[in-house]
Amino acid sequence: MTASAFPPVRIGMVGAGFMGHQHIDFIQAAPGAELAAVADPVATADSFDCPWYATTSDMLRAGDLDAVIIANPNALHVDTAVECLEAGVAVLLEKPVAVDYAESRRLVDAVARLEGRLLVGHHRRHHPAVARARAAIEGGELGQLVAVSGLWSARKEDEYFTDIPWHSRKGAGVTLINVVHDLDLLRHLCGEVAEVQAMQSSHARGLEVEDTITLNLRFESGVVGSFLASDAGVSPWGWDQATEETLAFPFVPDGVAYRLVGTDAALSVPNLAKYAYDRAVPANWHSPLSRTYLPVAPRGSFHAQLDHFIEVARGAAQSLVSAEDASRTLALVEAAALAARTGQTVDVARFRADSQGSAES
């Protein structure tokens, strides 16, 4: 049976705010999916061309769903996802998987207990440039990976914080809203992080949450890296500007979010510019570098993520971003926050063990 022989996966949307509306657009553009219902206490029934419910429970009780996409406020993620898994539907849960690592373990346990189908919305992993960069690293095209650096900086509109109060409270700073994607991707490309150091600041916006953070990372492989992020500073640098994912973030051609440095070559991502010496010249800093662009088929991460989720919902694919994986990314985010608060280097594996212990006791 070919994929098109299956009936569309009937998806319920939980949370129809900024991100929920984007997911609705992606569902409506996907032949394998159908928007079956929306649950949001604030949105109104006549906004959607499908049944609307004030609560997720009402939507699930009405039945007839194969899957849900959850894009409600972060503090509701785990409870909502567990409720949906208990109802037997597949779940695409927006990032961050939970507000903290200890809470995310509850979801990891629920997925195991219920044998649930759950994908976490770290959409960048689905971008073709990321798969190509990972293949370049794993295939030795860069030689031995030595270091990585990354930057995400974009000025959010002031209303992002004044109109939506949860955006300026614990659990919604630039680290948990934006850097969580970058750290997830750096883990995906370079492996587990062993140690993290950090400095952060809220001086630009003066809010409870940080607006700017800088991180030093030591990966278990020995690779070292740095990452700088701000939601107060104007810049063309960062994943959202460097990809044509959504019209919400205008595209900067040839943009770069990450730079990977190997003993044979360097690669910038997502534009996949590879810099290396020609065979005819000595392979050292006195020789000119040549630049080539690695070819990939153009494809947006969100569309690819939804296609993958449809396969996960049908039981035809393993989730590319499991609850366990996203939980580890969250542990790294928290370890970075602890490092920023204390000025200490944080051992990430020890941090996970200590946090899990305190959650269980």
Q: Rule CB under 6 A: which residues touch ligand NAD?
A: 14-20, 39-43, 56, 71-74, 76, 94-95, 121, 123, 164, 177
Which CB sits closer to ligand NAD, 79 or 347?
79
Phi, psi of 47 (to 5 degrees): -80, -15
CB of 73 to ligand NAD, least distance (A): 5
Residue nearer to ligand NAD on the CB measure, 6 or 166: 166
In a 10 Å sphere around its CB, with 0-12 CB exposed, 13-18 middle and 19+ buried, how is residue 314 labelled? middle
Closest residue to ligand NAD using C-beta atoms: 17
Nearer to ligand NAD, 39 or 337 (CB): 39
CB of 195 to ligand NAD, least distance (A): 26
Alpha helices in the chain (DSSP H): 18-29, 56-61, 77-86, 101-114, 128-138, 159-162, 174, 180-190, 239-242, 301-313, 323-342, 348-360
Token representation of residue 299: 């494809």
Nearer to ligand NAD among residue 123 and residue 274 (C-beta): 123
Smallest separation (angstroms) from ligand NAD to the CB of 344: 28
Pairing of strands 145-153, 224-230: parallel
Nearer to ligand NAD, 17 or 128 (CB): 17
Pairing, β 118-120 against β 90-93? parallel
> φ, ψ for residue 265 (rounded to 5)?
-160, 165
For 296, the token pair is: 């990939």
Least distance between ligand NAD and beta carbon 240 (Å): 8
CB of 228 to ligand NAD, least distance (A): 19
The letter for the amino acid at 341 is R
